[in-house]
């Protein structure tokens, strides 16, 4: 039963390569292949989650026992992320019919496969491979919207992520030279003696910056505004919502299992704070809706990085709460941005045209700011109490920056909300005001409903996240599940 877990990873991969062929054969069938695969993937992961057999468990690919072969480590955190990938892939499925559909759907399948792989894989090099695959798939998807600025953005993003992956490779090579193995569990055993020195730290930092490109870490996220502004809003929703979180997952795994040095956490905290400050302040002046959302996501991810820098399980709980909340809200907002893209000025009076969209927008911004009953408040509350508990002054600065950032965020979000409701002069015909497309409005309100549901059942959601964080936090569980299956490593 456990081995079924591989399918959601493998099937989309095959689908991606077969799709152009099927598409050429008959478009009708081709259209349904992608969603079918994804639905099947969701079903597998869903009943895996429900059946909840002995979590976590390790799956050796091709019979080679770790640390030699490649193994998939499936614990509740990984499963959650994988399920999220399948689901979001389904929601953001590019249905639009035009000559590019085949290529775009194939790339989407590839992206989903790579992301699931990223979530599940337990081997460092395997992570690197999937990371590259994800990067390639995103280049294709962004350039698919075939506009001049999209190409320029893609090129700039290509160069940046290329250098990033070189740095990651450098880090992995250093770790390999030091310990001789790439399996995470094995590394976790060896880390205290071998990787606890300066060399280990350099390796971690280079991986941090390399992966940070995707995770929108402060200095390396200059590609974010252009890419999210020019790419199709479905793609940028998927990128902003999920892919950046997966990159974060890698760093999370490394931090929990291998690296415990203090300097690493300090660097991450510092970069996180800078990310929050730059993201929120840039968003204050943004004139374009998508660009504003891009900067806001930089800010939010900066907050998640601050949460990541809090050691042990409490920090992880905050990270998970913040990231899943951001996932829901940001993808919803990007869905709204589908119709409402472009300059903010001509959004004046948009509420009159589509009252539902305006209400959903206000719901999302209230939750983003942390209005009490909504889950955003509880996520911020956990983060705040953790940050306050820390002793070193940098954390207090982080707390202050976090609070001020929320104020700025409230200011620019509600400036936009007030603009929506401002009466528009009569002679301006009603239909020239932009209106979000039907489908994306439906998915946005779907996210809204998800948010409200999370608000109502906050306590069970709280326990779930706590359980997941607990499982992810203890490294020993990870090591003995992976290595126990193979009778102890070398």
Binding residues for other proteins, rule: CB under 8 A, are: 156, 159-160, 163-164, 167, 198, 201-202, 205-206, 209, 213, 219-220, 222-225, 263, 267, 277-278, 281-286, 295, 366, 369-373, 377-378, 380-382, 384-385, 387-389, 399-400, 403-404, 406-408, 410-411, 414-415, 418, 421-423, 458-459, 462
The phi, psi pair for 79, rounded to 5°, reads -60, -40
CB of 21 or CB of 389, closer to other proteins = 389
CB of 181 or CB of 406, closer to other proteins = 406
Please state the closest distance from residue 129 (CB atom) to other proteins, in A: 21
CB of 175 or CB of 286, closer to other proteins = 286
CB of 327 or CB of 399, closer to other proteins = 399
Distance in angstroms (rounded) separating the CA atoms of residues 487 and 464: 31
CB of 92 or CB of 259, closer to other proteins = 259
Please state the closest distance from residue 184 (CB atom) to other proteins, in A: 22
CB of 121 or CB of 161, closer to other proteins = 161
Please state the closest distance from residue 204 (CB atom) to other proteins, in A: 9
Please state the closest distance from residue 268 (CB atom) to other proteins, in A: 11
Please state the closest distance from residue 100 (CB atom) to other proteins, in A: 27
Please state the closest distance from residue 458 (CB atom) to other proteins, in A: 6
Please state the closest distance from residue 141 (CB atom) to other proteins, in A: 20
Please state the closest distance from residue 412 (CB atom) to other proteins, in A: 9
Please state the closest distance from residue 159 (CB atom) to other proteins, in A: 6
Distance in angstroms (rounded) separating the CA atoms of residues 149 and 46: 39
Please give, one letter per residue, the 3-state secondary structure of the chain: CHHHHHHHHHHHHHHHHHHHHHHHHCHHHHHHHHHHHHHHHHHHHHHHHHHCCCCCEEEEHHHCCCCCCCEEEECHHHHHHHHHHHHHHHHCCCCCCCCCHHHHHHHHHHHHHHHHHHHHECEHHHHHHHHHHHHHHHHHHHHHCCCHHHHHHHHHHHHHHHHHHHHHHHHHHHHHHHHCCCEHHHHHHHHHHHCCCHHHHHHHHHHHHHHHCCCCCHHHCCHHHHHHHHCCHHHHHHHHHHHHHHHHHHHHHHHHHCCCCHHHHHHHHHHHHHHHHHHHHHHHHCCEHHHHHHHHHHHHHHHHHHHHCCCHHHHHHHHHHHHHHHHHHHHHHHHHHHHHCCECHHHCCHHHHCHHHHHHHHHHHHHHHCCCCCHHHHHHHHHHHHHHHCCCHHHHHHHHHHHHHHHHHHHHHHHHHHHHHCCCCCCCCHHHCCCCCHHHHHHHHHHHHHHHHHHHCHHHHHHHHHHHHHHHHCHHHHHHHHHHCCCCCC
CB of 8 or CB of 210, closer to other proteins = 210
CB of 37 or CB of 387, closer to other proteins = 387
CB of 156 or CB of 467, closer to other proteins = 156
How many other β-carbons are positioned within 10 Å of the β-carbon of residue 432? Answer: 9
- CA distance from start to end of the chain: 29
> Closest by alpha carbon to 19, among 92, 113, 82, 87?
113
Please state the closest distance from residue 421 (CB atom) to other proteins, in A: 8
Distance in angstroms (rounded) separating the CA atoms of residues 178 and 191: 10
CB of 53 or CB of 391, closer to other proteins = 391
Please state the closest distance from residue 286 (CB atom) to other proteins, in A: 8
CB of 82 or CB of 207, closer to other proteins = 207
CB of 287 or CB of 490, closer to other proteins = 287
C-alpha triplet 254, 41, 78: angle, nearest 5°: 15
Please state the closest distance from residue 347 (CB atom) to other proteins, in A: 15
Distance in angstroms (rounded) separating the CA atoms of residues 466 and 200: 30
């Amino acid at each position: 039963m456990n081995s079924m877990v591989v399918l959601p990873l493998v099937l989309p991969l095959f689908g991606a390569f077969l799709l152009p062929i099927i598409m050429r054969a008959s478009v009708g069938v081709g259209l349904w292949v992608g969603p079918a695969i994804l639905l099947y993937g969701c079903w597998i992961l869903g009943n895996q989650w429900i059946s909840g057999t002995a979590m976590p468990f390790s799956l050796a690919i091709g019979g080679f026992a770790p640390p030699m072969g490649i193994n998939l480590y499936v614990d509740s955190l990984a499963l959650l992320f994988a399920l999220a990938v399948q689901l979001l892939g389904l929601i953001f499925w590019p249905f639009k019919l035009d000559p590019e559909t085949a290529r775009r759907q194939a790339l989407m399948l590839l992206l989903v496969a790579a992301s699931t792989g990223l979530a599940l894989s337990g081997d460092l090099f395997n992570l690197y491979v999937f990371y590259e695959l994800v990067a390639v798939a995103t280049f294709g998807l962004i350039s698919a919207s075939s506009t001049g600025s999209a190409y320029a953005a893609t090129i700039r993003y290509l160069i940046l992520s290329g250098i990033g992956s070189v740095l990651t490779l450098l880090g992995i090579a250093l770790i390999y030279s030091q310990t001789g193995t790439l399996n995470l569990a094995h590394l976790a055993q060896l880390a205290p003696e071998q990787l606890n020195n300066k060399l280990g730290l350099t390796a971690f930092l280079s991986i941090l910056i390399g992966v940070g490109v995707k995770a929108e870490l402060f200095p390396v996220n200059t590609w974010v505004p252009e890419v999210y502004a020019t790419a199709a809003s479905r793609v940028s929703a998927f990128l902003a919502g999920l892919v950046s979180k997966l990159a974060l997952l890698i760093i999370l795994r490394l931090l929990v299992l291998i690296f415990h040095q203090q300097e690493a956490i300090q660097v991450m905290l510092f970069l996180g704070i800078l990310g929050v400050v730059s993201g929120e302040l840039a968003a204050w002046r943004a004139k374009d809706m998508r660009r504003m959302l891009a900067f806001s996501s930089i800010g939010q991810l900066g907050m998640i990085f601050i949460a990541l820098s809090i050691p042990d399980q409490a920090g992880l709980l905050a990270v998970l709460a913040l990231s899943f909340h951001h996932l829901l809200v940001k993808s919803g907002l990007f869905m709204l941005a589908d119709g409402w893209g472009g300059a903010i000025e001509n959004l004046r009076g948009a509420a009159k045209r589509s009252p539902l969209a305006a209400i959903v927008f206000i719901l999302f911004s209230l939750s983003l700011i942390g209005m009490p009953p909504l889950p955003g408040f509880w996520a911020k509350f956990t983060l705040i109490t953790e940050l306050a508990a820390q002793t070193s002054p940098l954390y207090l600065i982080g707390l202050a920056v976090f609070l001020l950032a929320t104020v700025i965020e409230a200011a620019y979000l509600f400036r936009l909300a007030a603009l929506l409701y401002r009466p528009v002069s009569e002679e301006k015909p009603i239909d020239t005001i932009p209106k979000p497309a039907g489908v994306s409005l439906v998915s946005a309100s779907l996210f809204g409903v998800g948010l409200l549901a999370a608000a109502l059942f906050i306590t069970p959601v709280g326990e779930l996240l706590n359980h997941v964080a607990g499982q992810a936090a203890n490294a020993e569980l990870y090591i003995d599940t992976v290595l126990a299956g193979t009778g102890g490593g070398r």
